[in-house]
């Protein structure tokens, strides 16, 4: 069994696509119109055939409450691995990304948390 697609809930798919591609550096993989929303995925440019991240539209009220509660509690919705967290942190800060937690050593990993502009805290991790 393998993970092929995972998702992150987003308040606006177009804003999310712009942020995840132009700021974070992911690449759009799939865009299929489905009425009001789309099946919209991005992938790492380093792994174009790897796991797809679905930019999931917020069409379900309980999901909106869940996303809001996680965000307000400062809990990351998901995490992305990076090779050099300080370099990535510096690049993202320069691009205007707002961090709620600067790179912080926690056991064998170093973590940082930022706002994805779409309702989520996202964690980057260097192990």
Q: Where are the domains of the chain?
A: 5-126
Q: Mind listing the pLDDT tens digit of every residue in the chain (127 residues)?
A: 999 999 999 999 999 999 999 999 999 999 999 999 999 999 999 999 999 999 999 888 999 999 999 999 999 999 999 999 999 999 999 999 999 999 999 999 999 999 999 999 999 999 9
Distance CA 114, CA 127 (A): 18
Q: What is the pLDDT of residue 54?
A: 98
Q: What is the pLDDT of residue 59?
A: 84
Q: What is the pLDDT of residue 32?
A: 98
- Give the fold, CATH level 3, of 5-126: 2,3-Dihydroxybiphenyl 1,2-Dioxygenase; domain 1 (3.10.180)
3-state SS class at 115: strand
pTM equals 0.94
Mode of pairing for the β-strands spanning 99-106 and 109-115? antiparallel
């Amino acid at each position: 069994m393998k993970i092929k697609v995972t998702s992150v809930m987003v308040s606006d798919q177009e804003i999310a696509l712009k942020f995840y591609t132009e700021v974070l550096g992911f690449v759009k993989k799939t865009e299929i119109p489905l009425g009001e929303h789309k099946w919209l995925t991005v992938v790492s440019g380093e792994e174009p055939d790897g796991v797809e991240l679905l930019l999931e539209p917020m069409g379900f009220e309980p999901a909106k409450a869940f996303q809001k509660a996680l965000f307000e509690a400062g809990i990351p919705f998901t995490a992305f691995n990076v090779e050099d967290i300080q370099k990535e942190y510096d690049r993202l800060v320069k691009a205007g990304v707002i961090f709620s937690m600067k790179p912080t050593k926690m056991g064998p990993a170093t973590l940082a948390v930022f706002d994805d502009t779409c309702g989520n805290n996202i964690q980057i991790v260097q192990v």
